[in-house]
Amino acid sequence: MFKSTAPVIARYSGISKVLAFRYAGPGTIFLLHSVVPDTTSYPEEFTRCPVSVLEDTLAWLKDNKVQFVSLDTALDRLATPAVDRFCVFTFDDGYADNLTHVLPIMERFGAPFTVYVTTGMITGEIDTCWWFGLAALIRSRNNLALPELGYSFDCTDAASKKQAFAAITALVESNGEALASVRTALDANGIDGRSIVRGEGLTIEQLRRLAASPLVTIGAHSVRHIRLPRVSVAEVQREMADGRAWLENIVQREVKHFAYPFGACGHREAQIAQSVGFRTSVTTQRGTLFPEHLGHLYALPREPIISKETASSLRCKIDGTYRAFHSRLGDPVAHM
Ligand SMILES: [Zn+2]
């Protein structure tokens, strides 16, 4: 869905300016995951952003007088709207590169940011993050067969590897048996997803160093990174409360904010997030922040920063153009 050029066309044709009157709220929360020097060798496009794109994004926002604020400050701004526009940077999952690559860049721009940590990424005790193994498998092969499903994927170059990864993850989403087939392929090729997760995630020491930065807010992102709407109320409560308690013990600070894994959520998850004591939860719904979001604190929208970001696409994001398209010119205020 991020390959759609419609919003960029809208920008060039001036439609974006018209839409901005209705869809541009004063603030935008941006969503990223891992930031690496070069994304060429990574088949998982959505979760990898090049260092240069993050730097260019920050520079463009600064040039366009969009202020960098923390999540808590953003909420204050919504309560007392100011003239200046603002943005919040968030990074999901808890990648080690959030310390090694992201922090130095954000320090250079004086930009606060939130890291939503899946505690299983740090402890390495989860086997639910199968996509790390899938990415490693695709990187190492020229062809990947899932014979149980009757599929075979060409993985000979960077483009076909990205296509194969996108196709297989879509398959897992739509077909309950596909995940078993992916796991069989990982086992057959000796790929240990847990050790890859441990290598990608922050260590406890790195998490403490990240949390010690005055620019950084640590948020929670569950224990196992599972789709919360698919499990029981008790499990959702455990994923939220246990993840937060573990993080608070490590960083010795209150953890007030939550991000739904995969952005998967509904009214039930929003109510549980509130009942376990979070101040806000973020989704992956498209849109900008409006003062009305103070009444929808458990469904705050975010705009992803992608590897092919441009000045036009960024303008569309802060102007709410994507919200206009995704909602089919519906409510500018994204909520449950
Ligand atoms: Zn995540």
List, for residues 203-243, the tens digit of each pLDDT value: 999 999 999 999 999 999 999 999 999 999 999 999 999 99
Angle at 286 between CA 280 and CA 290, to 5 degrees: 55
Q: Is residue 134 part of a domain?
A: no
Quote the CA–CA distance of 204 and 94 in Å, as a whole number: 11
Distance CA 119, CA 221 (A): 7
User: Both 49 and 151 in a single domain?
Assistant: no
Which CATH number characterizes residue 224's domain? 3.20.20.370
Do the domain assignments include residue 97? yes
When mean pLDDT is compared across 96-110, 162-176, 219-233, 266-280, the lowest value belongs to 162-176
- Give dist(CA 294, CA 290) in Å, integer: 8
189 CA to middle of ligand 1, Å? 25
- Same domain? 13 vs 83: yes
On whether both 115 and 163 belong to a single domain, the answer is: no
Whether 334 is covered by a domain: the verdict is no
Residues 112, 207 within the same domain? yes
Beta strands 85-93 and 66-68, pairing class? parallel
**What is the 225 CA–ligand 1 centroid distance (Å)?**
6
| Whole-number Å distance between alpha carbons of 35 and 49 | 5
Do 26 and 156 lie in one domain? The reply is no
Same domain, 283 and 149: no
Distance 47 CA to ligand 1 centre (A): 9
Residue 158 and residue 253 in one domain? no
0.75 cut: is pTM over it? yes
- Type and span of the H or E element at 154: strand 151-154
Residue 26 to residue 291: CA distance in whole angstroms: 8
Query: What is the identity of the amino acid at 142?
Result: N
Q: Could you count the other beta carbons within 10 Å of the beta carbon of residue 294?
A: 12
Q: Is-contact 27 293, C-beta < 8 A?
A: no
131 is a domain residue: no
Both 39 and 72 in one domain: the answer is: yes
* Domain identity same for 288 and 158: no
**Has residue 59 been placed in a domain?**
yes
Q: Give a yes or no: residue 26 inside a domain.
A: yes
pLDDT digits (tens, 9 = 90+) for 96-155: 999 999 999 999 999 999 999 999 999 887 777 788 888 988 988 888 888 888 888 888
Residues 177 and 227 in one domain: no
Ligand 1 centroid to Cα of residue 262, in Å, is 5
Per this entry, what is the length of the chain?
336
CA of 224 to the centre of ligand 1 (A): 10
Distance 118 CA to ligand 1 centre (A): 7
Task: Provide the number of structural domains found in the chain.
Answer: 2
55 pLDDT tier (thresholds 50, 70, 90): very high
Over residues 164-180, mean pLDDT: 85
Ligand 1 center–CA 169 separation, angstroms? 14
Has residue 117 been placed in a domain? Answer: yes
> Do 105 and 175 fall into the same domain?
no
Is 41 a domain residue?
A: yes
Same domain? For 182 and 207 the reply is: no
**Amino acid found at 103:** L
pLDDT value for 10:
61
SS3 of 318, please?
A: helix
Domain that holds residue 182: 142-188
Q: Environment class of residue 138 by beta-carbon count within 10 Å: exposed (0-12), middle (13-18) or buried (19+)?
A: buried
